[in-house]
Amino acid sequence: MLSGTPGPWGPKLSQGGRTIEAPGRPRAPHVPGHTPGVSALYLERGRFLLTWDSLVTRNPLTGRKGPQVMPRALKRDTGRALSSHARLEEVPAETILPGHRDPWAEGVSKAIRLAKPGRPIVVAR
**Considering its fold, how many domains does the chain have in total?**
1
pLDDT tens, position by position, 40-88: 888 888 899 999 888 899 988 889 899 988 888 787 788 888 888 888 8
Is 67 contained in some domain? yes
Question: What whole-number percentage of the chain has pLDDT above 70?
Answer: 75
Is 122 contained in some domain? no
Residue type, 59: N
Is 123 contained in some domain? no
- Tell me the pairing of strands 95-98 and 48-52: parallel
DSSP state of 110: H
Nearest to 39 by CA among 49, 29, 47, 48: 29
How far is residue 43's CA from residue 96's CA, in Å, rounded to a whole number?
10
pLDDT of amino acid 11: 53
38: CATH = 3.60.15.10
Is 33 contained in some domain? yes
Is 103 contained in some domain? yes
How far is residue 120's CA from residue 99's CA, in Å, rounded to a whole number?
22
Between residues 90 and 7, the one the model is more confident about: 90
Question: What whole-number percentage of the chain has pLDDT above 90?
Answer: 20
Is 83 contained in some domain? yes
Vertex 53: Cα angle to 122 and 102 (nearest 5): 50
pLDDT of amino acid 1: 37
Find the domain containing 96 and state its range: 25-115
